[in-house]
Amino acid sequence: MAEIIQAEGKQKGGKKKAKKFSTHIDMTPMVDLMCLLITFFMLTTAFSKPKAMEITMPEKKDDPTVKAPEIAADRTINILVSGNDKIYYYFGVADPKKPPLPQLIATNYGKDGIRKMLLQRNKLVFTAVYDLKQKVTKGEEVMSDSTLTRKIKELKKTVDPKAPIILIKADENAKYKNLVDIIDEMAICTVANYAVVDIGELEKQMIAGTAVAAPVK
């Protein structure tokens, strides 16, 4: 590899001449490695462009004559998002006039947290969409991307008429990341019906642990 070439010089008499050393480093291995590294990175990396998550909010109507549509209590799941990455959920409707209040369950953003509950509740829709995606991946069914998206949308609407309706409510301490994460879970678990709505006073009290149902008359 590297070698040291000693300059041959005639030595006259007793004079000591300093021997000149010139080093010659062979760069071949370095260029080899550079070539390999460049090829590796050219083939493996891709530009990461920012992606967009679409979200549609229901129109804000301050018209008092228009009542909010009634939602079936047996299909409703309320997810409450709070600060410090805390997340809770409860089934049904929390009406202070109709005790007892539903039990608030604390969970986390991990795989065994909110996702587990959502997958269990949304089993029918999830398995249908998952099976379709597997078929397309394995090549058993062939369709374009847009057709696949359209079919998934249809499946979400039709497969389970009792599919859960999720209401996402965030309190003042929630961070933006928490909201994006929970909407992402909706997409991961292929939930068809969900909406981001305002949190109610009672729910804030439920989180704080101070909720009290109205006394039974």
Partner 1 sequence: MPKIKAPVRTPHIDMTPMVDLFALLLTFFMLTTSFRPTEAVVVDTPSSISEKVSPEKDVITILIGKDNRVYLNFDNGKDTAVLIRKEVLKKMAEQYQVTFTDKELKTFSTWASFGMPIDKMKAWLNTPDSKDREKFNVGIPTDSTDNQLNLWVRFIRLQNPYADVAIKGDSDADFKAVKHVMDILQDNQVNKFNLTTNLQKEEAKLEE
Q: In the complex with partner 1, which residue's Cβ is closer, 77 or 101?
A: 77
Binding site for partner 1 (CB under 8 A): 3, 24, 26-28, 31, 48-60, 81, 115-116, 119, 123, 126-127, 130, 170, 172-181, 183-184, 187-189
Shortest CB 11 distance to partner 1, Å: 26
DSSP SS3 for 196:
strand
Shortest CB 173 distance to partner 1, Å: 8
Q: In the complex with partner 1, which residue's Cβ is closer, 11 or 59?
A: 59
Q: In the complex with partner 1, which residue's Cβ is closer, 78 or 178?
A: 178
Contact 180, 53 (CB under 8 A): yes
Shortest CB 168 distance to partner 1, Å: 11
Shortest CB 184 distance to partner 1, Å: 4
Q: Whats the size of the chain, residue-wise?
A: 217
Shortest CB 17 distance to partner 1, Å: 26
Q: In the complex with partner 1, which residue's Cβ is closer, 89 or 101?
A: 89
- Cα dihedral sign, 196-200-204-209: negative
The amino acid present at 57, given as its one-letter code, is M
Q: How far is CA 158 from the centre of its chain?
A: 25
Shortest CB 204 distance to partner 1, Å: 13
Q: In the complex with partner 1, which residue's Cβ is closer, 62 or 140?
A: 62
First to last CA, the chain: 95
Distance in angstroms (rounded) separating the CA atoms of residues 24 and 12: 28
Structure tokens that stand for 124 in this block: 């029918």
Q: In the complex with partner 1, which residue's Cβ is closer, 40 or 130?
A: 130
Task: Name the β-bridge partners of 12.
Answer: none
Burial class (CB in 10 A: 0-12, 13-18, 19+), 121: buried
